[in-house]
A = this chain, B = another copy of it.
Amino acid sequence: MDDRSPVMGLVHLLRAVTVEFDVLGAEFAARHGLHPTDVRALIHLLDAERAGLRATPGWLGEQLRLNSAGTTSLVDRLERLGLASRSRDTADRRRVLLKVEEKAAELGWAFFGPVIGEVVAVAEDFGAGELETVRRFLTAVLGSVGRARSS
């Protein structure tokens, strides 16, 4: 657990990657007049859409750890920017359904596209077995962080 443990290098590396992704997100946000929270919100909304889940303000607020007031103003912002839209759920009329607009997906690709391209290029230097090892490791780490969070 001290700094000379061979695993510590990996931990620092993971953290460095995280920080770089954050900075990338923040710069993207600034360049498009968005706030970091807006970017995080779009990521969650796009994820939900891909998974076929129906997103609501309450659900989004939980994901981002915002209270209801903050969530309302976030959704107001996204709507004003034309990135998402509200519509009443006809089944339960207390609920509001959130839909991401095409424009948001375009911004998402503009954001992730170049990074994905670079990572794909990097992956070409690795064999299928090696990539599988990386995948196993990252999956395990993902579980680790989740476990550390809940304890």
Contacts and interface: CB of A to CB of B under 8 A. Distances in A.
A20 B148 CA distance: 10
Interface residues of A, number: 63
B13 A138 contact: yes
B119 A14 contact: yes
Copies of this chain present in the complex amount to: 2
A43 to B, nearest CB: 7
Contacts of A21: 14-15, 18, 145
Given A8-B116, A65-B26, A149-B27, A122 B135 contact: no
Chief secondary structure at chain A's binding surface = helix
A20 B131 contact: no
A53 interface: no
A7 interface: yes
A142 B40 CA distance: 21
Given A112-B11, A134-B134, A18 B16 contact: no
A7 B123 contact: yes
Contacts of A11: 112, 115-116, 119-120
